[in-house]
Structure 1
Amino acid sequence: MNRRDFINLSGLGVGGLLVGSIPVMGYAVPSQRLLEPGADVATKKRLADIALNAAKSRGATYADVRIGRYLQQFLFTRETRVQNITNAESYGVGIRVIANGTWGFAATSDVTPDGIAKAAQTAVSIAKANARLQKEPVQLAPQAGVGEVSWKTPIKKNAFEVPTQEKVDLLLKVNSEAMKNGASYVISNMFFVNEQKYFASTDGSYIDQDIHRIWPTFTVTAVDRAAGKFQTRDALSSPMGMGYEYLDGTASEKILAPNGLVGYRNAYDMVEDATLAAKQAKEKLTAKSVSAGKYDLVLDPNHLGLTIHESVGHPTELDRVLGYEANYAGTSFATLDKWKTKSFKYGSPLVNIVADKTQPHTLGTVGYDDEGVPAKQWDLIKDGVLVNYQAIRDQAHIIGEKASQGCCYADNWSSVQFQRMPNVSLKAGTEKRSVTDMIKGVEKGIYIIGRGSYSIDQQRYNFQFGGQLFYEIKNGELVGMLNDVAYQSNTQEFWNSCAQLCDQDDYRTFGSFFDGKGQPSQISAVSHGSATTRFNGVNVINTGRKI
């Protein structure tokens, strides 16, 4: 069974965060199976050499092999019920080669010497067949082999070792406390992923990695039956590259914000957030509807992360800039001619955005990417100017880079690796400034927290974003909750309106656990960090107004 053989979980809402079925990869297995060790490193090295030697013997000038074991546990509850628990495992080998200057790829779940050798031979045959249509040979940026190395997500508690009943008890407690505090309905979920990946290449790399991710989330709904209205509030958690310590309180870090709001960094109190969410959902039922117009926006990191993802992360993907994604997800306004000028003002001078595969506790952090390139950090936007893109080994020469930036990824052994977004984050301000300090300087504005509905055009330029919570700012103070808020802008206008940043003490991350790209579509997980940030004179519309 490969990545495309999804186990469809129909009928399960996930708080509006996900649409349709949840991508569960592989076979359903008992939870105990998730704790069984995979093949040892010596065995994986021996199998990898079989693939590399078979590919070279058939004429490959380059080959890499990924032996992958992918584990998932997803839990779904609603009010007092457990709706579903899914445990899944996927295990197999993907082999990529260059022959006659052209890529070829094949994968197999037959993880035996014969099965792997046959897959390598198939990959070379595919490459040679593709070469008949190839106009220019692949130009692969050099990458020195790193020898035999390993890397692990630095977790304190493996989520798969925590008893399923303990996780269910926490979710049901979340639901119970939300209901006690005014929620009419509540769903809560947990997602745990472990990627055990072994990469080897003819460059001389043998890399063993053990990657963990976690995402607890919920949606509470408050209903006013007399008025026939309802409001929701989603969790303010962030998916993280951590273990269960994110949830068990052993590393609690809270960011206190105005109006009794709490932000979370590297730890998350799910019960506390659900309790507050129920109260806020009820408050939203009677909140004043916003008056459309120009406002200064104070954007919390849990909200701004999505705007970064859509208006900076995607448009700086080089394959998208080059048009490779046009059929599926569109292109990019941030074209090569703008980059070549070295003066294109993507944002104000305060805007410094970095791509980073090394940031602790984040979803995109690894030791090495799926081409064996060490993880690194680099600038995308510096002092407001577009200075670089996201590129992998066969793209680096296009933008004059001598090496890959290490952002190649495949979501499964059966998927071919390609350019995927690294963590893309806005650097915090250098001057000491809290959220309260920032709000004091706003005469007419809105403080926005959490991600909501959004839309953006196929070039990632014109957009509209909503949120979870909205608070009106008048003369430097929060004066009450608002409803029906969304802001409209274009990417360049928006980022050039960036006027103020909180400092590193307020810095937090937002994450996307199931980010889609490619044909056939693959998912990946990526984080976006920022401190609370102010944008001046942004157009706000009323989304509740009837036409």
Structure 2
Amino acid sequence: MSSLAAGALFLPGFPGLGGNLVTPEQLLVPAADVALKKRLADAALNAAKSAGASYADVRIGRSLNQGIFTREKQVQNIQSTESYGAGVRVLANGTWGFAATNTVSEEGLAKAAQLAVQIAKANSKVQKEQVKLAPVKGHGEVSWKTPIQQNAFEVPIAQKVDLLLGANAKALENGASFINSALFQVNEQKYFASTDGSYIDQDIHRIWPTFSVTAIDRASGKFRSRQALSAPMGMGYEYMMPKAADKVAGPAGSDLVGYKNSYDILEDATAATKQVKQKLTAKSVTPGKYDLVLDPHHLGLTIHESVGHPTELDRVLGYEANYAGTSFATLEWKAKKQPYGSKLVNIVADKQQANSLGAVGYDDEGVKTKKWDLIKDGMLIDYQKIRDQAAMVGQNESDGCCYAQSWSDVQFQRMPNVSLQPGKAKLSVDDMVKGVDKGIYIAGHGSFSIDQQRYNSQFGGQVFYEIDKGKITGMLEDVAYQTNTLEFWNSCAAICDESDYRFSGFFNDGKGQPSQSSAVSHGSSTTRFNGVNVINTARKIG
């Protein structure tokens, strides 16, 4: 584990590989029989009702993970893990209780259910208001699977290692000083049952290839890095098989390529190396107001922080505060009907979006997932909410965005895929750049900061290109933009059409206390924002 952690220090956004160490072959052992899981679930549900629960649900979960880590010409670590157990959530005396067990037997689950009821009854002594659940009709026995073409765990490790080392070789051949690469693969086998009459079996897959390339100028000691422009995806190993149709060219003069539903890690590693070498001699940006042209891989982080988190209802109501704050977009603010963004801004939440990280058929409290509007024509019209939140805003339906990171964690409201809709008029990236007199094109997400109400913020990126009189004229460095959420989204002036639409995403979005992580995607097309304040991150104040 220590060698794995050491390797992870060099990798961006390292997601923990929880569970027990297993051999790669054990990742291919079939899941438990559905009939067996139903018997186990019924044992928990019956025990909960007998102990006094008015409602109960049980999640039997098996989480499989594999991480492969390389550096230059060597493999640093290969790790396969498995976690298996069950969590039982109940309502008793109008109060939640939860307990989990890794003793996956009828007796084990019954004991967990009884403990959950005891906890709920103890909690009820200090509960001020009883929980009100939005109604959900039982679905009976149903199933859902990520529509993968190839299970990543079935691909020989040697083949995956060769691909990563091949990317490293491309970087070294083109002058990289260092490169680290990794491939993360996840399979969640989830079984949900509730006293509402649902028995839901789901098989969910995710994959994330990534790397970090560094070039050093030995004479000056200066160095620059660039991370992969891949997006983690809700797909199988087919994501690693590049198709020409899935490539999207960046603006003329930028030497950038974007990726849709397949990824060319060899091509990206080669391009990244050329770009970090250019970054070593790129001119430092002059602070001031610029029109920003933001590619989808970059814009995903800004959407995540300035729209995704502020529209989580628990943050809005103040129930979530310790982990990354609350939200400026309160019910009182929404009632004033102030524009969140320009009329071009249409942002949807969608738990069914194909190939996304958040795509599932049903959430972790048995609600069938859906797509709904958060911002329409620039106006905030709804939030993200689950069964015990809907009544708080006068609604009677969950949005189906409840999730727990494992069987041993209680489920709660988590961000669905939150995406900016593409422009309706035909508009290419080159056409957009032609309309910019003084601007900067930004690709990839970098460091950022945002305040505790998701309002004032600063975002960096991976690579930056100066736009002068409608043309890319060269690379810039030391770029970050400062803005506030409303100012930024109201400056949205143009959005490329659907042909440019791509995903960005995160394997490990954190929230809660104790903290949990989840995976979420953000789709968008390249978008222009006018008159945004850009600072020089290398300049000292005073």
Query: Above 0.5 in TM-score?
Result: yes
The 3-state SS of whatever aligns with 1:214 is strand
Distance in 2, Cα, partners of 1:339 & 1:482: 39
Distance in 2, Cα, partners of 1:26 & 1:286: 45
> Is residue 233 from structure 1 mapped to residue 193 from structure 2 by the alignment?
no
- Post-superposition offset of 1:230: 0.3
Q: Given that residues 223 and 229 in structure 1 are in contact (C-alpha distance below 8 angstroms), is that contact kept between their aligned partners in structure 2? A: yes
Identity %: 69
Over the aligned positions, Cα root-mean-square deviation in angstroms equals: 1.2
Q: 514, 518, 523: which is aligned to 1:524?
A: 518
Q: Deviations over 1:83-130 (max 9, x none)?
A: 111100000000000000000000000001111110000000000000
Distance in 2, Cα, partners of 1:168 & 1:405: 40
Distance in 2, Cα, partners of 1:252 & 1:12: 34
Q: 455, 459, 467: which is aligned to 1:473?
A: 467
Corresponding residue for residue 263 of structure 2:
268
Distance in 2, Cα, partners of 1:150 & 1:130: 34
Alignment of 1:323-402 (within 5 A): 323-341=318-336, 343-402=337-396
- Post-superposition offset of 1:18: 2.6
The 3-state SS of whatever aligns with 1:283 is helix
Q: Deviations over 1:372-431 (max 9, x none)?
A: 000101111111011110000000111222110000000000000000000000000000
- How many residues of Structure 1 are paired with residues of Structure 2 in the alignment? 539
Distance in 2, Cα, partners of 1:382 & 1:62: 36
Distance in 2, Cα, partners of 1:400 & 1:82: 55
Corresponding residue for residue 312 of structure 1:
307
Specify every segment of 5 or more residues in structure 1 that has no aligned partner in the other structure, as ranges: 1-5
- Post-superposition offset of 1:537: 0.2
Q: Given that residues 14 and 218 in structure 1 are in contact (C-alpha distance below 8 angstroms), is that contact kept between their aligned partners in structure 2? A: no
Distance in 1, Cα, partners of 2:442 & 2:344: 20
Q: Deviations over 1:159-183 (max 9, x none)?
A: 0000111101100011011010111
> Is residue 178 from structure 1 mapped to residue 171 from structure 2 by the alignment?
yes
Alignment of 1:69-468 (within 5 A): 69-249=62-242, 253-258=246-251, 259=253, 260-341=255-336, 343-468=337-462
- Post-superposition offset of 1:545: 1.3
With structure 1 as the length reference, what TM-score do the two structures score?
A: 0.97
Distance in 1, Cα, partners of 2:475 & 2:250: 15
The 3-state SS of whatever aligns with 2:26 is helix
Q: Deviations over 1:418-473 (max 9, x none)?
A: 00000000000000000000000000000000011111111110000000110000
Specify every segment of 5 or more residues in structure 2 that has no aligned partner in the other structure, as ranges: none
Distance in 2, Cα, partners of 1:345 & 1:81: 53
With structure 2 as the length reference, what TM-score do the two structures score?
A: 0.98
Distance in 2, Cα, partners of 1:15 & 1:527: 23
- Post-superposition offset of 1:270: 0.3
Q: Letter of the 1:543 partner, please give it.
A: T
- Post-superposition offset of 1:228: 1.2
Q: Letter of the 1:138 partner, please give it.
A: V
The 3-state SS of whatever aligns with 2:7 is coil
The 3-state SS of whatever aligns with 1:93 is strand
Alignment of 1:28-43 (within 5 A): 28-43=21-36
The 3-state SS of whatever aligns with 1:11 is helix
Q: Deviations over 1:344-383 (max 9, x none)?
A: 2110111000000011000001000001000101111111
> Is residue 505 from structure 1 mapped to residue 499 from structure 2 by the alignment?
yes
Q: 485, 488, 494: which is aligned to 2:488?
A: 494
Q: 1, 10, 13: which is aligned to 1:18?
A: 13
Classify 1:107/1:62 alpha carbon distance in 2 versus 1 (closer, same or farther; 3 Å): same
Corresponding residue for residue 3 of structure 1:
none
The 3-state SS of whatever aligns with 1:415 is coil
Distance in 1, Cα, partners of 2:228 & 2:3: 24
